Amino acid sequence: MQKNDIFQVEIKDIGVNGEGIGKYEEMTFFIKDAVVGDFIEAKVVKLKKNYGYARVEKVIKPSKDRVELKCDIAKQCGGCQIQQISYERQLKFKEDKVRNNLLRIGNFSEEEIDKVFEPIVGMENPFRYRNKAQYPVGTEKDGNIVIGFYAQRTHSIIPINNNDCKLGTKENAQILDLIKEYMQENSVKPYDESKKKGLVRHVLIRKGFETNQIMVCLIINGDKLPKEEKLIEKLKKVEGMTSISLNKNKENTNVILGKETVILWGEPYIKDYITLNDVKRDEQGKISFEKTDTKVGYQISAQSFFQVNPQQTEKLYSLALDYADLHGKESVWDLYCGIGTISLFLANKAQNVYGVEIVEQAIDDAKRNAKLNHIENANFFVGKAEEIISEFYQSNSKEKSNTIKAGETDNLVDSQMMTPDVIVVDPPRKGCDNLCLDTMLKMSPSKIVYVSCDSATLARDLRYLCDGGYQLKKVCPVDQFAQTVHVETVVGLQRVNY
Ligand code: SAH
């Protein structure tokens, strides 16, 4: 076989990146945009010794799981990897991915997994779920302004049909049209990455799904927008508009936001709420969610981190809380706490919560949000989770072996912190540091709740914790990112012999 050869193949499996997998003459082919069950004509793109890459030339017989694309640029754009697969099949793919990683990387047996695995929590509507969008702004060959997305693995901007990305909110298209209009009417130039000239680099739009408040921030290579009042005039007419700002980024960098944000009109924040849900299970174990009256409010600035899919986030965190099984007297660590989203949920049900996060600004947000919600039993620390908990643990062990002198008790670490009832972790993709896992084992809480955005590192860490004296109680994947290959998972662990 050679590059550009055409062959026919049946797609038998899905790869971790959502690509179709088929065999032809003892060679395994990874084929982008092919769906399991498709019979296709494929063209060889790249050959290795016993595998290769190909692309779909023609779908001869489509799979029953193949669906029509909702978006014309889905194939070029880096955003959706599996829009061509039915949502039901996407969910099965994600469930299998988590199971396989537990099996292969975590070395858990099928029986162990079956006993604890809960069915994946899918979305009611797998489109229009993102509350935040960031669009690069540029110039097309013909000189026209283009606002769109980067094509996969490049920095060339592809225009979105009618400016309407189907993962984002309906208002985004209207807002982008208005910004384009303002730029054309006032000769405001898009930024040109190669020449490092021009003004408007990106548009950031956020929406509070509960409050319907909208924030627009233009990221510019400069200090001021010419005739900014013209832009404000247009944008403030959009229903829900609450905050219009500009962010200065004059660096030659891929990082979207610069350090300084200036408010042009309205508030510096939008507000949104995440509602705590009761988790119910029917006789078959199928999970359903019932909204409670407990809501946590968050002020979100242009720079703040906030979960992009609020409807699924509330399910994810309600499950985490369900697994933590708190009754009001517990002390809980929330490691990798970000802006305290989970911590503030936990604080409603625990005696004390201690959140740890490496980004100082996120901790400022967490403290502000705690105040906003009149939560007084949440404490936050800036630093690496592994360092903070091991330092606390060591200093407390020393204190125990020394006689405590009068007057020193104020400096004592609260012993509750050293013997937490529950530790919750929500690390980035690389998972938990070993020192973090070791210290968790030493602190020996009765329960650990692990929230993960990468089931491979999750499986690795779960094996470590289970070898250290814990057992899996429950595992549940939650789909936060429909049309993409990503999946979140919540795991409940229990100390053995507890
Ligand atoms: N639980 C939060 C955020 C989870 S994302 C939420 O739901 O909003 C993971 C977080 O871990 C990020 O905020 C990141 O800044 C933080 N982080 C990364 N490495 C860390 C470390 N070594 N110690 C503490 N926090 C870390």
pLDDT of residue 3 exceeding 50: yes
Q: Taking phi first (over 0 means left), then psi (-120 to 50 degrees means alpha), and beta for anything else, what does residue 52 get? A: beta
pLDDT confidence of residue 418? 79
pLDDT confidence of residue 145? 94
pLDDT confidence of residue 402? 47
Among 217, 337, 453, 476, the one annotated catalytic:
453
Rounded distance from Cα 362 to ligand 1 centre (Å): 9
pLDDT confidence of residue 305? 85
Rounded distance from Cα 483 to ligand 1 centre (Å): 24
Longest dimension (CA), the chain: 83
What 3-state DSSP class applies to 387?
Answer: helix
**Tens digits of residue pLDDT in 147-186:** 988 887 788 888 887 878 999 999 999 999 999 999 999 9
**Tens digits of residue pLDDT in 247-289:** 999 999 889 999 999 999 999 999 999 999 999 999 988 899 9
Query: In whole numbers, what is the pLDDT of the chain averaged over residues?
Result: 93
Which atom of ligand 1 approaches the CA of 384 most closely?
23
pLDDT confidence of residue 460? 98
Examine the residue annotation and report whether 165 is marked as an active-site residue of this protein. no
pLDDT of residue 401 exceeding 50: no
What pLDDT band is residue 406 in, cutting at 50, 70 and 90? very low
Do 132-268 and 6-66 have the same topology in CATH?
Answer: yes
Kindly report the CATH number that applies to the domain delimited by 272-495: 3.40.50.150
Residues 258, 229: contact at Cβ < 8 Å? no
3-state secondary structure the chain: CCCCCEEEEECCEECCCCCEEEEECCEEEEEECCCCCCEEEEEEEEECCCEEEEEEEEEEECCCCECCCCCCCCCCECCCCCCCECHHHHHHHHHHHHHHHHHHCCCCCHHHHHHHECCCECCCCCCCCCCEEEEEEEECCCCCEEEEEEECCCCCEEECHHHCCCCCCCHHHHHHHHHHHHHHHCCCCECECCCCECCEEEEEEEECCCCCCEEEEEEECCCCCCCHHHHHHHHCCCCCEEEEEEEECCCCCCCCCCCEEEEEEECCCEEEEEEEEEEEECCCCCEEEEEEEEEEEEEECCCCCCCCCHHHHHHHHHHHHHHHCCCCCCEEEEECCCCCHHHHHHHCCCCEEEEEECCHHHHHHHHHHHHHCCCCCEEEEECCHHHHHHHHHHHHHHHHHCCCCCCCHHHCCCHHHHCCCEEEECCCCCCCCHHHHHHHHHHCCCEEEEEECCHHHHHHHHHHHHHCCEEEEEEEEECCCCCCCCCEEEEEEEECCC
pTM: 0.92
**Tens digits of residue pLDDT in 173-223:** 999 999 999 999 999 999 998 899 999 999 999 999 999 999 999 999 999
Q: Return the C-alpha torsion angle 301, 306, 308, 309, nearest 10.
A: -120
The average pLDDT across 453-462 equals 98
- Is 88 annotated to bind ligand? no
H/E stretch holding 473 reads: strand 470-478
Going by CA atoms, what residue is nearest to atom 1 of ligand 1? 337
Kindly report the CATH number that applies to the domain delimited by 132-268: 2.40.50.1070
What pLDDT band is residue 409 in, cutting at 50, 70 and 90? very low
The average pLDDT across 51-58 equals 96
Residues 308, 132: contact at Cβ < 8 Å? yes
Least confident of 11-15, 139-143, 233-237, 484-488: 139-143
Least confident of 1-5, 8-12, 105-109, 455-459: 1-5
pLDDT confidence of residue 151? 84
- Is 307 annotated to bind ligand? yes
Q: Would the CB of 340 count as within 6 Å of ligand 1?
A: no
Rounded distance from Cα 305 to ligand 1 centre (Å): 10
**Tens digits of residue pLDDT in 284-308:** 888 999 999 999 999 999 988 899 9
What pLDDT band is residue 90 in, cutting at 50, 70 and 90? very high
What pLDDT band is residue 86 in, cutting at 50, 70 and 90? very high
Q: How many C-beta atoms surround the C-beta of residue 141 within 10 A?
A: 6
pLDDT confidence of residue 410? 39
Going by CA atoms, what residue is nearest to atom 3 of ligand 1? 338
Q: What are residue 424's DSSP bridge partners?
A: 334, 449
Domain segments of the chain: what residues? Answer: 6-66, 132-268, 272-495
More confident residue, 497 or 419: 419
What pLDDT band is residue 16 in, cutting at 50, 70 and 90? confident
Topology of domain 6-66, CATH: OB fold (Dihydrolipoamide Acetyltransferase, E2P) (2.40.50)
pLDDT of residue 411 exceeding 60: no
pLDDT confidence of residue 399? 54
Which residue type does 400 have? K
- Whole-angstrom Cα distance, residue 41 to residue 20? 13
CA 335, 336, 339, 344 torsion-angle sign? negative
Least confident of 111-120, 159-168, 312-321, 403-412: 403-412
pLDDT confidence of residue 414? 65
- Whole-angstrom Cα distance, residue 82 to residue 74? 9
Residues 58, 79: contact at Cβ < 8 Å? no
**Tens digits of residue pLDDT in 315-333:** 999 999 999 999 999 999 9
More confident residue, 143 or 477: 477
pLDDT confidence of residue 398? 58
Burial class (CB in 10 A: 0-12, 13-18, 19+), 306: buried
Which of 303, 357, 423, 430 should be mutated for ligand 1, with most atoms under 8 A from CB? 357
